[in-house]
Amino acid sequence: MKNRQDMLYRVFFIGLLFLSLFYLQKTMDSYAVRIINLCGIYIILALGLNLINGFTGLFSLGHAGFMAIGAYTSAILTMPENVKVVNFFMKPMNGFLVEANAPFVVALVIAMIVSGLIALLIGIPALRLRDDYLAIATLGFSEIIRVVFTNTYSVTNGALGLKMIPIFTNIWWSWGSAVIVIIFMFSFSQSSFGRAVKAIREDEVAAEAMGVDLFKTKLLTFVIGSAFAGLGGALLGNLIGTIDPALFRFTLTFNILLIVVIGGMGSISGSVISAVIVTVMMEALRFLDESVKIGGYIIEGIPGLRMVVFSLILMIVVIFYSEGLMGKKELSIDSLKEFGKSVKARKIHHRAQQKDVKKNA
């Protein structure tokens, strides 16, 4: 009975989400809709990195590299042949890739598969390392991917990147994909494999003693998380319409890592909430870089002030919420009910106190 009730609640919330997205798409301008799209994409990216860093307890910094693989794969598969010819004017594109074409949904799936396969090849040697060594290794692989893309002119067009990529990503693609990833993550966290992954995070020695294959489990989560990065990169490429290797620098991984840390390492709900807050705040603070007119006075903008203020806000959040906004907790129907009961209990207690004060007076 309880499972059926929880399922009805989930269907209700998903339906409410898509009704809200439909309303926002109809009422908001293209700039605001683009921010909503970015929120959905960053949710996917944050959950992928959280699966690796938060759930498994690894320390990977290679997310941007797998995003690049996904973005270029989807772009190449969705670009018409004449557009590819226009892009590759310095050196002709590989003949097989010129003719390669696929529907957007197929391109997304292939982007995930290619990112996962590259992650498999990288993970086999890299995951034998631990802690800071693993972080440096994955960061190095990410930079290698970016450098390779910068120099393979017949495949990626080198440093010039790809222009005129078809704009297929919209609210339904970005948030639909985000919902699927969220459902997968909740199902994963409640499965026996998910519990094994969490056991590795808490104590590798104890997990191994219980029969968990440490290497295979880590490798599989690394591949899945990287595949999600490829999906996010593909959606991003087909949203902005132009990509180049410079877009996928380490700072992109750092931004996603911030979202995960602020939301809470190991919390799906935290990553979702944090991705939306950080993405919206980054745009809301953009006015600090520009001149502002107040009355008859013009206050000159300071380039970079937006990032300074944003960093200060992040520092405050990290200081007061050292485990993130959600820690390792999740928003659920039961937690919402408990929250409602606690609020109701506080109100009753407050009214009782007021009555006692009145009687004593």
Q: What pLDDT digit, counting tens, does each position of 134-155 carry?
A: 889 998 898 999 999 998 888 8
d(CA 278, CA 318): 13
Reported as a pLDDT band with limits 50, 70 and 90, residue 262 is confident
Please write the tens of the pLDDT for every residue from 208-253: 888 888 889 899 999 999 999 999 999 999 999 999 998 898 888 8
In this model, does residue 157 exceed pLDDT 80?
Answer: yes
Q: Looking at residue 284, what is its pLDDT?
A: 78
- What's the predicted TM-score (pTM) here? 0.87
**What is the pLDDT averaged over residues 32-50?**
92
Residue 158 banded pLDDT, cuts 50, 70, 90: confident
Mean pLDDT, the chain, integer: 83
Tell me what the mean pLDDT of segment 148-164 comes to. Answer: 89
Contact between 138 and 62 (Cβ < 8 Å) = yes
Mean pLDDT, range 65-75, rounded to an integer: 94
pLDDT bin (cut points 50, 70, 90) of residue 67 is: very high
Per mean pLDDT, which range of 182-191, 269-278, 301-310 is the poorest?
A: 301-310
pLDDT surpasses 70 at 291: no
Higher pLDDT, 51 or 324: 51
343 has pLDDT over 60:
no
Residue 125: closest CA among 191, 222, 210, 232 = 222
Alpha-carbon distance 222 to 51, whole Å?
A: 8
d(CA 89, CA 103): 25
pLDDT at 131: 76
Is pLDDT above 60 for 257? yes
> What share of the chain in percent tops pLDDT 90?
29
> So what's the pLDDT on residue 301?
63
Query: What tens digit of pLDDT does each residue of 76-133 get?
Result: 999 998 888 888 887 888 778 888 889 999 999 999 999 999 999 999 998 888 778 8
Contact 167, 239 (CB under 8 A): yes
Q: Is the dihedral of CA 321, 308, 34, 67 positive or negative?
A: negative
Let me know: does 347 contact 293? Beta carbons within 8 Å.
Answer: no
H or E element: which one contains 146?
helix 131-151
- Out of 199-203, 285-289, 293-297, the most confident range is 199-203
pLDDT above 70 for 331: no
Question: What's the pLDDT score for residue 266?
Answer: 83
What is the distance between the alpha carbons of residues 174 and 16, in angstroms, rounded to a whole number?
16
